A and B are shown apart, each in its own frame.
Chain A
Amino acid sequence: MTATTRREAGAPVAPPGRRIPGEEGIWVFVLGDMTVFALFFATFMYSRGKNPDIFARDHASLNVALGTVNTVLLLTSSLFVVLGVQRVLTGVRRSAPRLFTAALACGLGFVIVKAVEWSHLFGEGKTVGSGEFFSYYFMFTGIHLAHVLIGCVVLSRLIAISRRNELTGHTAMLCEAGGIFWHMVDLLWVVLFALFYLMR
């Protein structure tokens, strides 16, 4: 069965050629947030250059395996989201709620792994006040975690929207904008993972 024959009546179809994914507003927000995080990244690198020994020592306290698991969870959730959004945009959206639900499960998995990781660190006496490295670590990953939690709420909305019988062009655009937000959450984590977990 082709995508054309499976397309549901009244479903929006993405126009051909160049277009703004989602809508302009989401890009203003996403690019602004990415710029703020870029300043975070640069601040961290500057401080790391000034205190290489302390950063290398405290970096060793982090669990690289858990960081890697979280990276895989977010990358996989992004795959589910991009497939779900594509289903909505092409009108073949029967499986879209399942894909968004799978993405949400990955997002919640990220939160659980992060909670486990922080619990271990707190158990070892590492807090936001345990030196420069951990101040950066808890602040930046904490702000990112807030983004993940907001993203989970967004994914919950996408599940509800994609279950509707009638889907207008506006609600399809909302799905795409929500997906872009989730990909930004993934994209920011990729850099945080490299800075905190991989660089010595």
Chain B
Amino acid sequence: MTRRVTLVWLLLLGITFASFVVGVEQGAGVASAAAVVIIGLALCKVRLIGIHFMDIRVAPRPLRLIFEAYVLAVFVTLATLDLVVT
């Protein structure tokens, strides 16, 4: 268990570094695409925290489905607003 959550923590740090690089390197012309990538990476982190740290992996199916639906809905909403609203 300690090994699993430590690996998840390392993965979270790795994703943070990757999104930092995307954020710093994003060019003006690809800002929207970069934003979608940044949002996607953030929601991946949210899911990892929920599943492994909040222990949703052992939760009853309805709670897990609500959490997974939340992550997906937030990603789709934010990505859509980024790409559509002008």
Q: Chain A interface (Cβ within 8 Å of chain B)?
A: 17-21, 27, 31, 34-35, 38, 41-42, 45-46, 48-50, 52, 56, 64, 68, 71-72, 75-76, 78-79, 81-83, 86, 176, 179-180, 183-184, 186-187, 190-191, 193-195, 197-200
Contact = CB atoms under 8 A, between A and B. Distances in A.
Nearest to A47: B85
Contacts of A183: 49-50, 53-54
Given A42-B81, A49-B85, A191 B23 contact: no
A63 to B, nearest CB: 13
A191 B35 CA distance: 12
A75 B45 CA distance: 10
The size class of the interface chain B forms with chain A is 35 or more
Interface string B43-64: 1011001101111101111010
A35 B55 CA distance: 19
A21 B50 contact: no
Given A64-B24, A72-B16, A200-B34, A194 B60 contact: no
Nearest to B56: A21
A12 to B, nearest CB: 15
A49 B84 contact: yes
Interface string B23-42: 11010100100110011011
Contacts of B74: 38, 41, 191
A68 B42 CA distance: 13
Nearest to A59: B23
Given A187-B46, A187-B50, A68 B58 contact: no
Nearest to B2: A83
Interface in B63-79: 63, 66-67, 70, 73-74, 77-78
Contact of B54 (A21, A56, A79, A86): A21
B60 A20 contact: yes
A18 B59 contact: yes
Nearest to A190: B45
A75 B39 CA distance: 17
B49 A190 contact: yes
B77 A194 contact: no
Given A21-B56, A187-B54, 19 more contacts: A18-B59, A18-B60, A41-B77, A50-B86, A52-B31, A52-B86, A64-B20, A72-B13, A79-B6, A79-B9, A83-B2, A179-B54, A180-B54, A186-B49, A190-B42, A198-B22, A198-B38, A199-B82, A200-B35
